[in-house]
Each structure stands twice: as C-alpha cells, then as structure tokens.
Amino acid sequence: MVIDGILADRDCPAVKDFVAELAKSSGRLADKFPKSWRLRLRDTVNTMPSAPFLWKFKHTLLTVGLIAVLGIASIAMTGAAYSIIWFARSDPPTWKYAIVHRASARRSYAKNDLRQIAVALWGYLESHKALPPAGTFRSDGSQGHSWMTQILPYDDQAGLFQQIHQGEPWNSPHNAPLTRQEIRGYRHPVDQQTIDLEGPALADFAANQYVMGANWSCARKDFTDGMSNTFVVGEVKDLRRQWADPRNFRDPALGINRSPRGFGGHFPGGALFALADGSVRFVNEKIEPQVLRKLGTPNGGEIITKADEANW
C-alpha cells in the first residue's frame, strides 16, 4: 500500500514532516484512518530518530565570547599572582615602602594641623597680648569656653565663633548644636572616630596646663625659658574631650604615652607637640623626665642643653 511505503521510508524529510503532522492531528484523524494505520503511525512516531542539532551563527559568537572571557580572566589571575610573589620576594619588601609612605603622609597632615593651631594661637597672642585661657569658669562653678573656641577666628572659623554666645556655657541649649560641629583641624587624620565617652566633636590636641590654665594664661613676657623651649599644645589619644570643653588641658609631667590623662600620640614612639614659637616637633616617648619638665614650664629657669635636645 502507498501508506505502507511512505511509513517505511522513515529517514525521508518529507515523511518526517508528514508523520509529525499526523501526530499533531491524531485526535482529528482518528475517525478517518483504520485502526491498523493508526497503530503503525504511533509506532513510527515512537521509533523515529530525533532531529539533528543545527549549529547556528549565534552559537559561534557565544563560544568565542566565552573563550575570550576565560582568557582575560586567566591573564588577570596570572598577573595578580606574579605581583603578589614580586611584592613578597622584593628586598626590602615593596609593600613596606607603601605602608611607611602612608604613615609618613598622615604624620605630615597631623603636623600641619597642629602647626595651624599654633599659628592661630600666635594670632590670638598678637591681638590680646596673651594666650587664651585653657578654659573659663564662673564663680558659681559653671563652665564657660575653651581655648579652642577662642582661637576659632584665627583658624578660618570666624563665622562659627560669631554664632557662639560667649555669655552662656559652651554646652547651653543655644551653644550645644554649634559646639557639636566637627572641626577638621582639631582632629587627627589617623583617628576618624567621631564619638567618644565625652560625646561628639572631639579634639585630638590639648593645652599644656603650665602655659594655659583655668582662667589664666601666659603672656609673651612669661616665656623666660624661651618660646622655642616650651610646649604649648600636644597630641592626645585617650580620654579626649570635645574641642569646646574648657577642661581640655593636661599635665606634660605625666609623660608621653604613659597615662591616659597625659599626652600621647597616634604614631608609635612618641607624640607631636607645638612649641610657643610656632614650631612643631615629634617628641620621643622615652624622653628623660627632667627634660620633659623643662619643656613643660615657660619660666622654670631650666636651661635646655645640647644633650637635652638630643634626648627628645
């Protein structure tokens, strides 16, 4: 029969299309073909080989793209591995240079900030013939303002200073929102913590209590030991206060990095200090106590010798 011949030639494309169409329409053709044909048709469909996969141009593009991505990734990983090996085997290790350079840059920023504070103090000294008191306190025990508040006009913060009511405490309802503002120059570039036990707007520098104290300060004539031999402001890292707090002054006799209530640096080995002449120096934490006392007092009558200078 013709249908038998057609079904026998299963590899013919025309036969495949015919069979597929019959399979789709098998429900409609059920009543038009004898049962034996329908059975043979079912067997033919079930045993017919699947259509071969046709490779298209987009498959080629995808394959080429995948190979390119894998190649770039392998090159990048190889380069990173060689870089790590080179950094580790370099003598001395190059990564140490990067760390040292970053620390040196931060120390330079800190010295510049402290030098700007020293310049502001000089500006105040020229205008008032004396340094500002470390803090002002009223007879009833209430707190006034800090030395850092008084030098704001000389540190490019005149606008903020004018908004602060000097007749009210530094933390009064009016002044509190103002004195909680961060002053970048009063912060150390290494320490970015903005809130301590004392609250926000911390200061990483404090006054020398032998130069600026509660309701008093030194005038130029008081520096009989020499302005280049007297600490004015130093670096602190523990128990810091807000910059507007009038209690922000410390005793250098407590040593450097020895007491949380004394002066201490953010860099290992010492701390930064501004002297009365406006210079800034990094002072070794192992400085002799007697030399530290000489540098801490403005008019103690001590003489700084060459050996003392070598000790800082």
The alpha carbon of 98 is separated from its chain's Cα centroid by a whole number of angstroms, namely 17
Task: Extract the tokens encoding 122.
Answer: 């000089």
> From the first residue on, what is the mean pLDDT of each consecutive set of 10 residues in the chain (312 residues)?
50 57 54 61 60 67 84 83 66 48 70 94 95 95 96 95 96 95 87 55 95 96 94 94 96 95 93 95 93 92 72 64
Tell me the C-alpha distance between 294 and 46, whole Å.
105
Do residues 22 and 39 make contact, with C-beta atoms less than 8 angstroms apart?
Answer: no
Give the strand pairing for 205-208 and 249-250.
Answer: parallel
> What pLDDT is recorded for position 128?
96
Tell me the C-alpha distance between 233 and 250, whole Å.
9
Tell me the C-alpha distance between 271 and 208, whole Å.
13
Task: Extract the tokens encoding 67.
Answer: 């190979």
Q: Which amino acid is at 102?
A: R
> What pLDDT is recorded for position 144?
97
Other CB atoms within a 10 A radius of the CB of residue 186 amount to: 23
Q: Which amino acid is at 164?
A: I
Tell me the C-alpha distance between 192 and 288, whole Å.
31
Tell me the C-alpha distance between 57 and 62, whole Å.
9
Q: Which amino acid is at 201?
A: A
Q: Is 272 exposed, middle or buried (0-12, 13-18, 19+ CB in 10 A)?
A: buried
> What pLDDT is recorded for position 2?
47
Kindly report the three-state secondary structure assignment for every residue of 180-230. Answer: CCCCHHHCCCCCCCCEECCEECECCEEEECCCEEECEECEHHHCCCCHHHC
Other CB atoms within a 10 A radius of the CB of residue 308 amount to: 18
Do residues 266 and 259 make contact, with C-beta atoms less than 8 angstroms apart?
Answer: no
Q: Is 202 exposed, middle or buried (0-12, 13-18, 19+ CB in 10 A)?
A: buried
Do residues 169 and 175 make contact, with C-beta atoms less than 8 angstroms apart?
Answer: yes
Give the strand pairing for 143-146 and 205-208.
Answer: unpaired
Beta-carbon contacts of residue 164 (< 8 Å; ≥ 6 apart):
145, 149, 152, 170, 175, 178, 179
Task: Extract the tokens encoding 37.
Answer: 């044909």
Q: Which H/E stretch holds residue 79?
A: helix 57-89
Tell me the C-alpha distance between 144 and 167, whole Å.
8
> What pLDDT is recorded for position 71?
83
Residue with tokens 């400085």: 287
